[in-house]
Homo-oligomer: A and B are copies of this chain.
Amino acid sequence: MNETHDPELRSWVESANDPHSDFPIQNLPFGVFEPGVIGVAIGDQILNLRECARRGLLPASVREAVSAPLLNPLMGLPAGELTGLRRRLMELVRQGADREQVESALVAQGDVAMMVPVAIGDYTDFYASIHHAINVGRLFRPDNPLLPNYRWVPIAYHGRASSIVVSGTRVHRPSGQRKEPHANAPEFGPSKALDYEMEAGFFIGRGNALGEPIGVGEAGEHLFGMCIVNDWSARDIQAWEYQPLGPFLGKNFATTISPWVVTMEALEPYRAGRAGRGADDPEPLPYLDSENDRRRGALDVRLSASLWSREMRGQGTAAMELSSATIADLYWTPAQMIAHHTSNGCNLRTGDLIASGTVSGPGARERGSLIEITGRGAEPIALPTGEKRGFLEDGDEVTIRAWCTREGFARIGFGECRGALIHA
């Protein structure tokens, strides 16, 4: 075991030792708080890295990167520098360390506003959950839910970078064209079928040059870390616009991400002893086949999405879980996504965001969007207040959380990815 994963490690920041904290000393995710300061989450605090660097507490080689207003320079550092930074940060906050010089570089998470932490050049959204593809495909093609390319091609599309917002940002219900099946013409108005999609997002660390693919065996070295993504979707707009070039206005009105980026180094121990592919699935083509991936098993991060309506909040009712699934059940791994994305020579840049697509699992409670849960609105769910939901209503708040557990290791979490809908 890498010593930075030692479950016995404890911090002098007491809140980090709470077994329910998302941010124990084994995690140390990066984020940016207003007006553009890089910090690391520890318990309910944030360690201000710019301040630590100013005080000479961090290696001189990372000083410029940790003092930048966004994470990109840090994400592009060589792996050795990042490992060194992780170890140094642990030294600063571990129990027994000299807290005198560090304590005043802490700010309480409740006292600052977090920002989208990265300048995201391009945002790509995959479709890596075969369970999601089948659940959605069944609604449109009951006899033939999975398209013939699915088991071969890691399907993806380009999303919109400009409308990525940080957790807590309110989301306007989009207006758009939609057409009733038997209507002669479409109409324009607020979407009547607004959905969430529970996803994982992976940030690119080191990029590649145009024309130089990344082999699947080295793809992991280009990953910096993971966040939570809610890919809000207007199903009625999407259904009418998506032929033949795919989703556009049905998706690009807003995408919410969590503010904390958990590094691949922190995630390394949390792997399932299995992969998302089944015995009947074809072998991946050689450019997607990694002995390394197979041996280590899939990353196992559990996501959970919950709904909290305005009425539930008014009555003091707790939010209700709608979806829970693990990325270990994805058909394609992040390494396969990167190898595929660059197989034609496409260049990835430091800070690019690669999302998984909706994460659904095989179970009935493991469907990662309302369209799957309610059969496109046909079978609405009941909330504890007696309200019904086929799709989301104005005032609804959706929160996605994520965490990793493994016997013999600390639990680490991602914080939350939260958004409330407001009228069009």
Which residues does A use to contact B, with CB under 8 Å?
A: 121-122, 127, 147, 149, 152-153, 155-163, 165, 172, 174-177, 179, 185-188, 210-211, 213, 234, 237, 240-249, 252-254, 282, 285-287, 340-341, 343-349, 352
Contact = CB atoms under 8 A, between A and B. Distances in A.
A346 B211 CA distance: 31
Contact of A344 (B237, B244, B348): B237
A346 B153 contact: no
A213 B241 CA distance: 18
A186 B252 contact: no
A152 B177 contact: yes
B285 A177 contact: yes
Closest 9 A-B residue pairs measured CB to CB?
A: A246-B246, A174-B344, A158-B158, A157-B245, A172-B211, A245-B246, A253-B344, A249-B344, A252-B346
Contacts of A249: 340-341, 343-344, 346
Nearest to A244: B147
A285 B188 contact: yes
User: Can you tell how many copies of this chain the complex includes?
Assistant: 2
A149 B185 CA distance: 9
B253 A162 contact: no
A165 to B, nearest CB: 7
Contacts of A121: 161-162
A245 B163 contact: no
B210 A163 contact: yes
A157 B248 contact: yes
A127 B177 contact: no
Contact of A174 (B122, B234, B242, B345): B345
A175 B344 contact: yes
17 contacts: A152-B179, A155-B248, A157-B248, A163-B210, A163-B347, A165-B210, A172-B211, A174-B344, A174-B345, A175-B213, A188-B286, A188-B287, A210-B254, A242-B246, A249-B340, A253-B344, A253-B346
Nearest to A241: B153
Nearest to A239: B149
A176 B345 CA distance: 10
Interface of A is mostly: loop
A218 to B, nearest CB: 17
A162 B243 contact: no
Contacts of A248: 155-158
Given A147-B243, A162-B352, A344 B156 contact: no
A48 B175 CA distance: 45
Given A162-B348, A344-B252, A347-B163, A245 B247 contact: yes
Contacts of A174: 344-345
B240 A149 contact: yes
A153 B340 CA distance: 31
Most chain B CB inside 10 Å of its own CB: which residue of A176, A242, A243, A345: A345
Contacts of A252: 158, 344, 346
A283 to B, nearest CB: 10
Nearest to A137: B244
Contacts of A346: 160, 162-163, 249, 252-253
Contact of A156 (B161, B176, B185, B245): B245
Contacts of A179: 149, 152
Nearest to A249: B344
Contact of A349 (B155, B162, B165): B162
A213 B248 CA distance: 15
B156 A158 contact: no
Contacts of A244: 147, 155, 242, 246
Given A252-B158, A286-B188, A234 B176 contact: no
A282 B185 contact: yes
